[in-house]
Structure 1
């Protein structure tokens, strides 16, 4: 489903953000991406979502080589992705329903289909009763749930989250991770970047760890492969 083959990313400043990173994720797998600040986690996610291009090596998603993806095709490629951000990136001039509906509206879905899908997504994250609220009136945890509903409303094959619990307390963090687990249980491939090592350890999922742009750990705790 997802393959990084000896991927390098060097910025114009000369910084090597990723150094010969190779990894594979199977369809339907849920994986956590960890590492210190500046280790390369966000860079890896930006390459996966075609926000940036690698300096070397190949990134493949569902058999498609992103190195060869034309800029004009990137929006169509991203329709297969759901992306969750730490800071939500919600529109505060629109209500919850309209925020979640945005990907469907852009894709040209009809009004009835939009209504059905948005309410199903909001129900899944426990916010159906707040569809008419402005996001600014919601708690941080609720705002993150709106972001998750927006990311999954178009039924993506892959869900990517960059520090989705970074601003939440431990109880809310566990609830949000539980939602990702629920989506994974119905076949969505999930990749979550997180600093919350204690929570990740309890979930007993595969963990990929980066250090200074290099892959140093890959495996489920207790059954891992450590990279020198």
Structure 2
């Protein structure tokens, strides 16, 4: 699913966000990516989504060598990846329905198919009754759920989430993580960048730790809820 081999990313000016990172995630695996602010978490996710390209090393996602992927193929690559942002990135002049439908509209789906798929995605995240409202009227947790519904609307095999619970209280954060686990149970790979160590310790998933751009840890943590 995801394979990094000796991957580095250096930005103009000399800042090295990632240095010699080698890691492999199996298809359908769920893992957390953690580390201090500036450790390289967002950069790693951007390399997977081809928002950025590595300065060195090799990145393979879904069997495709991203180093060799031309610009014309990037949109097709991204259709297989759902990305959830901390700031939601919703369109506030469009309804919840229209926000979630956007990837399908771009992909050329029929009106009837869009309606069916959007309502199924909203139902999955518990927001079917909110399809006609505007995002500004929703709570932070509900806005994040809209972002998740939009990310999974194409049923991608891989979900990437960049600090998806950073602005949420502990209870809402736990609910959002529960949604990710539901998708993971049906075979979707999930990689979540998060600095919420307390929340991560309540979940039994692999944890990748970055420290100043290097992979400093890879394993499981003991659950802190007694389970």
Cα distance, 1:195 vs structure 2: 0.7
Aligned to 1:211: 211
Local SS of the residue matching 1:154:
coil
Q: Distance in 1 between matches of 2:94 and 2:219?
A: 42
Task: Write out aligned runs for 1:100-111 (5 A).
Answer: 100-111=100-111
Q: Distance in 2 between matches of 1:63 and 1:177?
A: 27
Runs of 4+ in 1 over 6 A off after TM superposition: none
Aligned to 1:182: 182
Local SS of the residue matching 1:165:
coil
Aligned to 2:125: 125
Aligned to 1:160: 160
Cα distance, 1:120 vs structure 2: 0.4
Aligned to 1:226: none
* Residue 4 of structure 2 corresponds to residue 31 of structure 1: no
Aligned to 1:191: 191
Cα distance, 1:13 vs structure 2: 1.1
Q: Distance in 2 between matches of 1:11 and 1:62?
A: 26
Q: Distance in 1 between matches of 2:83 and 2:181?
A: 15
Q: Distance in 1 between matches of 2:70 and 2:194?
A: 30
* Residue 15 of structure 2 corresponds to residue 15 of structure 1: yes
Once superposed, what is the RMSD of the aligned Cα atoms?
A: 0.6
Count of residue pairs brought into register by the alignment: 222
Cα distance, 1:68 vs structure 2: 0.7
Cα distance, 1:27 vs structure 2: 0.4
List gaps (5 residues or longer) in structure 1: 223-228
Cα distance, 1:220 vs structure 2: 1.0
TM-score when normalising by structure 2: 0.97
